[in-house]
Amino acid sequence: MNSLTWENDILLFAKLPVLELARAYQTPLFVYDQDQILSRINEVKKIAKTYHNISIYYASKAFLTLAMAKIIKDSHLGIDVASRGELFIALKGNIQPSDILYHGNNKSIEDIHYAIEQGVRKFVVDSVDELMHMKELTDQINTHIEILIRIIPKIDDINTHKNITTGHHGSKFGIDMDLHLEQVASIIKEAEYLSFQGLHFHVGSQLFTNTFHLQAVEQVFKYMQQLRENYQIVIKEINIGGGFGIKYKEQDQPMPLQLFIEPIIKRIDDLAKIFKFPMPKISIEPGRFIVGGTALILYTVGAIKPGTPSSFVAIDGGMTENLRVALYQAQYDVICVNKTSHTLETYTVVGQACESTDLMVEHAKLPKLKRGDTLAFLQAGAYEHSLIHNFNKTLRPTVLMVHQGVERVIQQRETYEALIARDFE
């Protein structure tokens, strides 16, 4: 992990001693490295600039707080929001409504109306039902909005965990254009206030190959031809989603982003030439790629007990601030912060929630542990914080952001009082 270094047996993260952070702010503790986030953003921006000036929408579902919204705003990126909550935070973070792309497979009419009132003008449409309601709403309020249609690209062998696959036949996301192209086209043609920009797909997350994006592009061109031949509709934009994988474990071999994206752009360019379409504008929605490798979660070791096949070591959190393991068997490297050793023991690191799925890392090789030791989960920047929950009435932890060697609290630990603040007897 780029931000981590050992100096004289002291572990530093973003140049700060990790153990001191854990002691000063209590565990569980998220620590983000803003300099790394900025460097990932710059990498994406550089590539985007090279190829036809691709538009970047940060997929905010990966990690979003006011501080993150500010980073996105100051970096002049667009943002993809997939709920009214994400939209609210983006707006509160002063992101320009014109930089927001509103996603979601079940936006209510009120959500869409609220977004339009706030100045949002670009939406990804996920169903024919939504398209009809958008038409009705924009007719009523006489307001123009731009739309992209999310298609189901129907790729069935996407090799990432099945729970983070979204481009297969039975996906709940997007419109089956083989069945609904005619309906979509006729609504678009009739709708005075819907400005149809193009097609969107997102095949899945944490991908180590661009094969599936390339297949999805072929599908997009099939629908583009049908839209042009049968309805004289020509699209202006293709949004290829996110999904760019990162390294969690030694065996992971993500593609460099440029090598991932370049052939996709080339294929779009080639197909546009073959079928005589103007080259569409291209947009991407990276989430994990920007934040995944930029944070760790620190925990304190509690109970240790014999177990099968190895001893259990319990930490003062678990699935409550990292649900990825239970949701899709995500794997992490875990290290001991306060000691190193040449002889390592094998442990099963478990959380403290009353759920058997709260089993965080199996076969972890760690120095001999005792209560009070500090452990760090690495590459914990994408979808861990976003999936935090209060199971067992666990308090949500502090989040730190380190920038140029100085840490600041960007989200404070929840209080016990906050647990009942919404309750009535």
Write the CA distances from 62 to 57, 111, 164, 384, integer angstroms. 12, 21, 13, 8
What the block records as the tokens of 388 is 């935090």
β-partners of residue 16 are: 13
Q: Least distance to ligand PLP from the beta carbon of 160, Å?
A: 9
Query: For 94, which DSSP code?
Result: T
Q: Where do contacts with ligand PLP occur on this chain (CB under 6 A)?
A: 59, 61-62, 80, 103, 166, 202, 205-206, 241-244, 285-289, 382
Q: From CA 185, how far away is CA 226, in angstroms rounded? A: 10
Amino acid at 316: D
The minimum distance between CB 112 and ligand PLP, in angstroms, equals 17
Cα separation of 78 and 157, whole Å? 31
What b/e readout covers 189-212, taking b as 16+ CB neighbours within 10 angstroms?
Answer: eebeebebbbbbbbbbbbbbbbeb
Q: Which is nearer to ligand PLP, 123 or 244 (CB)?
A: 244
Q: Which amino acid is at 289?
A: F
DSSP state of 207: B
Q: How far is the CB of 150 from ligand PLP (least distance, A)?
A: 7
Nearest of 12, 31, 5, 63 to residue 290 by alpha carbon: 63
CB of 41 to ligand PLP, least distance (A): 13
* Nearest distance in Å: CB 40, ligand PLP: 11
Q: Which is nearer to ligand PLP, 126 or 316 (CB)?
A: 126
Bridge pairing between strands 237-239 and 10-13: unpaired
Q: What is the 3-state secondary structure (H, E, C) of 290-334?
A: HHHHHEEEEEEEEEEECCCCCEEEEECCCCCCCCHHHHHCCCCCE
Looking at residue 244, its amino acid is F
Start-to-end Cα distance in the chain: 48
Q: Is 311 exposed, middle or buried (0-12, 13-18, 19+ CB in 10 A)?
A: middle
Rounded CA separation 234/78 (Å): 24
Q: Where are the beta strands (DSSP E) in 24-144?
A: 29-33, 55-59, 78-81, 100-102, 122-125
CB of 355 vs ligand PLP, minimal distance in Å: 24
Between residues 254 and 397, which has the closer beta carbon with respect to ligand PLP?
254
**What is the closest distance, in whole angstroms, from the C-beta atom of residue 261 to ligand PLP in the complex?**
12
Q: What residues are labeled active site? A: 354
**CA 55, 1, 346: angle at the middle one, nearest 5?**
135
Q: Residue 162 or 371: which CB sits closer to ligand PLP?
A: 162
CB nearer ligand PLP, residue 161 or residue 413: 161
